[in-house]
Every structure is written in structure tokens, then in C-alpha cells.
Amino acid sequence: GKKEYDLLVIGGGSGGLACAKEAAQFGRKVAVLDYVEPSPQGTKWGLGGTCVNVGCIPKKLMHQAALLGSALKDAQHYGWNIAQPVHHTWSVMAHAVQNYVKSLNWGHRVQLQDKKVKYFNMKGSFSDTHTICGLTKAGKETIVTAEKIVIATGGRPKYPMHIAGALEYGITSDDLFWLKESPGRTLTPFGFNVSLECAGFLTGIGLDTTVMMRSIPLRGFDQQMASLVTEHMESYGTKFLKRCFPIKVEKLESNRLQVTWKNTDLGTEETDSFDTVMWAVGRAPDTESLNLETVGVKTNSETGKIIVDASEATSVPHIYAVGDITEGRPELTPTAIAAGKLLAQRLFGQSSELMDYDNVPTTVFTPLEYGCVGLSEEAAVQCYGSDNIEVW
């Protein structure tokens, strides 16, 4: 029989919304399902996905707050008369950032309405290859059928479950941007880009911040550049515990968190207490509730990501996937937006243009901002051998 919608998109983040809006331009009947499962700490947010709510946008705004702080320090040397010491109020910044994000949530809802895209605030799972069962927060079920389905549910931060107390007492980037009160003295273990970015702006607004790194910073990025980033951060006051990894987190009577870690250089165990421990250990694809096995959508058993071909098609005809949920793609907002639009154009607009995933530029918003495109020096050596590359 005829399906209710021409296209159903599961996931209202950057990739999913771009795909849905583009498909609607072709006069197709389109629906979007989006649902935010609260974080383990109970944080939740509106339509727009990771980037808008708990990613690039609030991060960039807090990074800007820290840059302004640095500029204020420099300003006196340029003759500006600024009363010292300057003081930063977390709650004022957080309130402004959170209100701005809420305005974007609202904007996305209005855009969907304007383009006649039906928005369901529901958690979706497959009943069969054309049918999605949506569940509201109150537990009400709705059945939605569609000719074509796009999965764009992205990922959520992982917790290091092997560390005692990690889940009970730690937060992730899902929570940091929605804190009403200052996180205070903060530890962020594992030197990935998210931990360095957050540590950078926390230091910049005057908080005592420590990064714990087991091995190298910014894995996968050019290491000469990564060293410049961390050296700059150290000179600005971020503390680094190098070649250390956390073992357990305990809550003290004072409500502070006592962290025990192993120092691999000295072979010793050390402890210190913090107000906040923020984990940034990578992200896991958000597929658990989708029921992919039932309909035969193949995933990579190691990463949990959906396997797609060059046209974003999954192992099931008429089911597609874009963005962070897909295997072997960069986890970047602009990439997901471009891929979503191009997919809609191929499905409904006589286009055959594929997304080009080669040489996608990326940026790390640490205090010393770092942008790169193409191979890192290490990757170039691995690909072509050190005799065949020139480094300038």
C-alpha cells in the first residue's frame, strides 16, 4: 500500500535536518523524528542535534568568552584602562549561551513548519523496513510509514566504564554546557580534542583546570602542531598530568571528587580532589533503540556504526544513513549537512552528485586555534615513506 511519507528522517541533528529540509524543497512529504534521551546526569535539550545543543555552538561561544578574557589582560598594555582584577561570572555566561541555543531550537522547529516537514518528538525504532514505531516521553506509540528512511541519529559521549565511579560522579560534554553553576576546579582526563577545547576555555575564564593524558595529545592530528597547542595551553595556565591514567573516582563528604590515578613514568598511584571530572573519551553511535538487526541494516561490530556505500545507502534498499552514525566518515557538522543535502538531491532531484569525503578541513578550538586539512605529517610518512615527502 501507499506509504504515509516519501521520506522519514530519524534524528533531528545537522545531517538529518539538512536532508529533510532539502527533500521538502522538491515538494515531497517529509517527516523528522527526534528524541533526546537525557544524559546519565539528567541533562536534556531541544531540536538541532549535538552541534547546536552540546557541541560546536556552545563550545565556540564559551571559547569566545575565554578569548575576551585574554584580550582584557592584553588590553592594558595597549593603553586601555581596565580595572584589575577582572572577574568572570559563570552563571551570566551560561544563561546567555543556553538562551541562544534555545533560540536555535525554536528556529529549527519554525523552519520545519515553514517547509511543511512534520516533526515528531519521539524515539523511533524499526518495525519493518518501511515502518517506524515512535514512542513519546509519556509512552504513547505512533506508527509511521515511509517509502525511504534516513538514519541520522549521530553519537553520544562514552563513559570509561572500567573506571570505578566514572559514571556516578563524572559528567561529559553533554552536561558541561548546561551547568547552571561554575564547574569549579576541573579535571578532564584523556587528551582528545574535546577535552583540550573545554580545558582551554575553562582555564581562560579563570578556573583551575587539569588535563590528564595517558599518551599523546590530539591523536590523529599532526603531532608537531598538537605540541604547539599543549605548550601554549600550559603557558596560559592549564595543568597537564602527562603519562597518567585514572583508576577510580570517589565522592568525599565535602562533595568534592577524589580521583586516583596511575603515573606510568614513576609507577606510582597519586590522588587529588576536584569539583568536576569531565570525561571526553570519544563518542558511541546512538543505535541501541533503533532495532537495526530486525530489518537487516548492517553495522560494524567493533564501532557500532552503520556501514554505507558512496551514496550513503545501507545494506537495505531505501534505507540510508548520514553523519556521525556512518562508518568511516569524519564526525563533523558541515560534512553531515552537505551529505544530507546531496542525498536528498539524489533521491528526489535527478542529481547524481556524491559527497566527497576527501580532504575535509577541520578545526580544534583550543586557545591556540588549530585548523588543518589533508594528511598529517605522520600519516603522510606512513602513506608515502619519509623519502617521498617534503615538510615545510
Query: Domains, the chain, ranges and CATH?
Result: 5-157+284-349 (3.50.50.60), 160-280 (3.50.50.60)
pLDDT at position 226 is 95
Place of cell 585548523: 371
Work out the average pLDDT over 248-261.
97
pLDDT tens per residue across span 92-119: 999 999 999 999 999 999 999 999 999 9
- Contact between 34 and 121 (Cβ < 8 Å): yes
pLDDT at position 3 is 87
Q: Report how far residue 325's alpha carbon sits from residue 285's, in angstroms, rounded to the nearest whole number.
A: 5
Which cell is 353 given?
Answer: 552528485
- Contact between 150 and 9 (Cβ < 8 Å): yes
The pLDDT-based confidence of 143 (bands split at 50, 70, 90) is: very high
The pLDDT-based confidence of 1 (bands split at 50, 70, 90) is: low
Mean pLDDT, the chain, rounded, equals 96
Q: The dihedral of CA 232, 238, 244, 248: what is its sign?
A: negative
9 pLDDT exceeds 70?
yes
222 pLDDT exceeds 90?
yes
Which cell is 167 given?
Answer: 559514571
pLDDT at position 85 is 87
Work out the average pLDDT over 200-211.
98
The pLDDT-based confidence of 84 (bands split at 50, 70, 90) is: confident
The pLDDT-based confidence of 260 (bands split at 50, 70, 90) is: very high
> Where is average pLDDT lowest: 45-54, 187-196, 249-258, 312-321?
187-196
184 phi-psi bin (left φ>0, alpha ψ -120 to 50, beta other)? left
Q: Report how far residue 95's alpha carbon sits from residue 177's, in angstroms, rounded to the nearest whole number.
A: 10
Residue 246, CA distances (Å) to 151, 194, 225, 259 in order: 35, 18, 26, 7
Residue 220's identity, in one-letter code, is G
The pLDDT-based confidence of 140 (bands split at 50, 70, 90) is: very high
pLDDT tens per residue across span 323-343: 999 999 999 999 999 999 999
- Contact between 243 and 263 (Cβ < 8 Å): yes
270 pLDDT exceeds 70?
yes
Q: Report how far residue 60's alpha carbon sits from residue 226's, in angstroms, rounded to the nearest whole number.
A: 19
pLDDT tens per residue across span 345-383: 999 999 999 999 999 999 999 999 999 999 999 999 999
Q: How far is CA 115 from the centre of its chain?
A: 27
> Where is average pLDDT lowest: 82-86, 236-240, 271-275?
82-86
Q: Report how far residue 186's alpha carbon sits from residue 219's, in angstroms, rounded to the nearest whole number.
A: 22
pLDDT tens per residue across span 155-202: 999 999 999 999 999 999 999 999 999 999 999 998 789 999 999 999
- Contact between 5 and 36 (Cβ < 8 Å): no
3-class secondary structure per residue, the chain:
CCCCEEEEEECCCHHHHHHHHHHHHCCCCEEEECCCCCCCCCCCCCCCHHHHHHCHHHHHHHHHHHHHHHHHHHHHHHCCCCCCCCCCCHHHHHHHHHHHHHHHHHHHHHHHHHCCCEEECCEEEEEECCEEEEECCCCCEEEEEEEEEEECCCEEECCCCCCECHHHHCECHHHHCCCCCCCCCEEEECCCHHHHHHHHHHHHCCCCEEEEECCCCCCCCCHHHHHHHHHHHHHCCCEEEECEEEEEEEECCCCCEEEEEEECCCCEEEEEEECEEECCCCEEECCHHHCHHHHCCCECCCCCCECCCCCCECCCCCEEECHHHECCCCCCHHHHHHHHHHHHHHHHCCCCCCCCCCCCCEEECCCCCEEECCCCHHHHHHHHCHHHCCCC
Which cell is 140 given?
Answer: 504513547
Strands 209-213 and 186-189: parallel
pLDDT at position 242 is 95
